[in-house]
Amino acid sequence: MGTPDFAVPSLQALHESRHDVVLVVTQPDRPRGRGRKIMPSPVKESAIRFGYELSQPENVKSEAFRDVIAGFKPDLLAVVAFGRVLPGRLLQLPPFKAINVHASLLPKYRGPAPIQWAIINGEKETGVTTMLMDEGLDTGDILLQQSIPISPEDTSITLHDKLAREGACLLLETLENLTTGKLIPTAQDPTSATYVPMLKKKDGHINWKRPAKDIANFIRGINPWPGAFTFCGDTRLKIYKSKPLDKETHAAPGTVLMSFPDEILVATSKGTLLIEELQGASGKCLLTKEYLCGCSMEAGTVLT
């Protein structure tokens, strides 16, 4: 059971393993992309390619859907970024219950956006967790965990891909150990739990009153979605890449500082931020020196 790109490596791993995938469950086709065309999920596309039977329920809590699952007599449900809360009567149906792959080291970063928030918060490492699912949101007993470092160059997309691959490996390891009785589920410590919400488009607005290091992490964490942006007058600028510098200034946060002709250096509450890649109101992402060839930005300009 899965929907987005993050779940595809896990389906691929199951497909190539000794385990039998009797059914793939994914969300109904939805509008996607700029044209908002009705499109299948990445998991559906992969399931069709592998030749698996598909189910796309509108209501996972319905008796009709439970009957569909029961009809296949599954030993286990493997759930990876499915995007729906499953009812207890469904989770308890298979003998080995339901295993979920979550992109954090639980109990930290429960919720729908653990990859983005780990980078935004400046974490040095994150990881993946397999757990026995219950009716809570990422609250089930932990089975296995694998940590990975977060590189200073990682964006949410590069970290997403690393964790998706790691999650697929951990899922297979979990299945091997669980079915042989070698795994003992461990309850999560609720006092250590943190929850991170889904990011919305408006959440990409840069707050220049934050320290430069935090802003740089923020830009990496929300690249590509929802994307960091600021305003230069009425012009909306999307910032793709930046570097925090220790250079201090007395200028107000958001002020463009005097620098080399091919640089944009911005004051923050602590240190300065060097903008390396950006996009104007139209066009594509450019290196700063390329952007400045067509759009000047004088020292003293205030970004908001």
Identify whether 302 is part of a domain. Answer: no
CATH of the domain at 249: 3.10.25.10
Helix (H, G, I), strand (E, B) or coil at 69: helix
Identify whether 224 is part of a domain. Answer: yes
pTM reported for the whole predicted model: 0.95
Instruction: Work out the percent of the chain whose per-residue pLDDT is above 90.
Output: 95
Mean pLDDT of 273-290: 94
C-alpha 254/C-alpha 161 separation (Å) is 33
The per-residue pLDDT for range 20-75, each reduced to its tens digit, is: 999 999 999 999 877 889 999 999 999 999 999 999 999 999 999 999 999 999 99
Average pLDDT over the chain reads 96
Last residue in a domain, options 163, 192, 221: 192
Q: Which domain holds residue 112?
A: 5-192
Identify whether 301 is part of a domain. Answer: no
Query: Which runs of E-coded beta strand occur in the chain?
Result: 24-25, 30-32, 37-39, 54-55, 77-80, 98-102, 125-132, 142-149, 228-232, 235-245, 256-257, 264-267, 272-279, 286-287
153 and 224 share one domain: no
Mean pLDDT of 238-254: 96
Last residue in a domain, options 166, 192, 218: 192
Q: Is 286 left (phi over 0), alpha (psi -120 to 50) or beta?
A: beta
Interacting residues of 79 by C-beta distance below 8 A, sequence separation 6+: 1, 2, 86, 98, 99, 100, 101, 133
Identify whether 235 is part of a domain. Answer: yes
Identify whether 304 is part of a domain. Answer: no
Identify whether 303 is part of a domain. Answer: no
pLDDT for residue 83 is more than 80: yes
Identify whether 111 is part of a domain. Answer: yes
The answer to whether residues 275 and 254 touch, using CB atoms and an 8 Å cutoff, is: no
In the numeric block, the tokens 């990975």 are attached to 148
Identify whether 18 is part of a domain. Answer: yes
163 and 91 share one domain: yes
